[in-house]
Amino acid sequence: MSKFKKPVELSIPEAYELGFCTVGQSSEFPFTIFNPNAKPLNYLFKFTEFIISPSKGILMPNSYSSFRIEFKTDRASVTVGTVVLEVEGENQRVIKLSAVGKYPYITTNIS
């Protein structure tokens, strides 16, 4: 067994565009984290504009863990924010997220 810890692997990049979300509704975006190590690691997400769940816990050894980003807005605008991931024994990782809130529209055809 190696005594060197390998960094965890995220399935999303350091900057991620979530796309459009209808005002008053929420959008969810799944992602995973892989722990390539032989021991469990504690993790914690810190966020404001976007919600990550579960936000804290343990990454099991040699396993993938599933997460979701949730975005909900009450106005039509661009939202940009950061999520900080802290994993035991690693430097903090900053993930930049952006999403666009938009009003729904309806097209009618009167004949």
Look up the CATH number of the domain holding residue 75. Answer: 2.60.40.10
Q: Do the domain assignments include residue 32?
A: yes
Tens of pLDDT, residues 31-71: 999 999 999 999 999 999 999 999 999 999 999 999 999 99
Whether 1 shows a pLDDT value over 50: the answer reads no
Residues 65 and 87: their CA atoms lie apart, in Å, by: 13
Entry field: residues in the chain: 111
**Both tokens assigned to 88:** 């035991």
Strand partners, 84: 46, 94
For residue 70, the enclosing domain spans 9-102
| Residue 108 pLDDT | 66
pTM over 0.95: no
Whether 2 shows a pLDDT value over 70: the answer reads no
Tens of pLDDT, residues 64-103: 999 999 999 999 999 999 999 999 999 999 999 999 999 8
DSSP helix/strand/coil, 89: coil
Q: Do the domain assignments include residue 52?
A: yes
Number of domains in the chain: 1
Q: Do the domain assignments include residue 108?
A: no
Please answer whether residues 33 and 11 qualify as being in contact, where contact means their C-beta atoms are separated by less than 8 angstroms.
yes
Q: Do the domain assignments include residue 1?
A: no
Tens of pLDDT, residues 8-36: 999 999 999 999 999 999 999 999 999 99
Please give the span between the terminal C-alpha atoms of the chain, in angstroms, as a whole number. 74
| Residue 31 pLDDT | 97
Tokens 């009618």 correspond to: 108
Cα distances from 17 to residues 12, 40, 58, 62, 111, in angstroms, run 10, 30, 27, 28, 40
